[in-house]
A = this chain, B = another copy of it.
Amino acid sequence: VARYGAEHKTETRRRIIETAGRRFKQDGIDGSGISALMADADLTNGAFYAHFASKDDLVANVVADQLRSQRDALAMLPPGRAALADYIGDYLSPGHRDQPSAGCPSAALLDEISRCDGPVRDAYTDGVTAIISEIATRLSPNEPAMAHTTALGLFTILVASLQLARAVTDRKLSDQVLHSGVHNALSLLDLGYHNADN
């Protein structure tokens, strides 16, 4: 019989996964050491291996968790063009740009993930597939192939626009990247909607 409640260890594991998500998005995966990750969760480095088999194991769990949250947020949007347009505006906002730790995992980590091992990329594949589907069903349910293509277009414009806005040191250029991203995403969105009407 466990001394702590049955959920105690599960809760700690969840806390590690959540705080690690923030840390990874802020400092990168390579840039976040186990000691720092555990300190974020108010623990010491030694406890890590009671919860995860390795750092890669944590990374795979964090990636899955991050994309699941993003999917859930999308799933809670009301149907229709307006909600998606709002989402695009929030995504490409200065607030999101300036706070990577609370933001989109793909914008912060996508090309680092592409250099990770199989299990991490499998977790990413599953998560991003669900997100693209979630976007696609909100576009034109009658033309799934076309909707899938448009969903990918929206996703890629958002992700790389945010990455670019973050990389650039010229504030005015950065703001312009965000505005252009919104404009282009809305163009693609409307293209998808018009085609759905045909």
Contacts and interface: CB of A to CB of B under 8 A. Distances in A.
Contact of A160 (B109, B122, B157, B170): B157
Interface residues of A, number: 51
A163 interface: yes
Given A110-B167, A149-B179, A156-B159, 14 more contacts: A28-B111, A111-B112, A111-B166, A118-B169, A121-B167, A124-B168, A125-B173, A129-B170, A149-B180, A156-B160, A156-B164, A159-B164, A160-B160, A188-B188
Interface of A: 27-28, 30-31, 100, 106-115, 118, 121-122, 124-125, 128-129, 148-150, 152-153, 155-157, 159-161, 163-164, 166-170, 173, 176-177, 179-181, 183-184, 187-188, 191
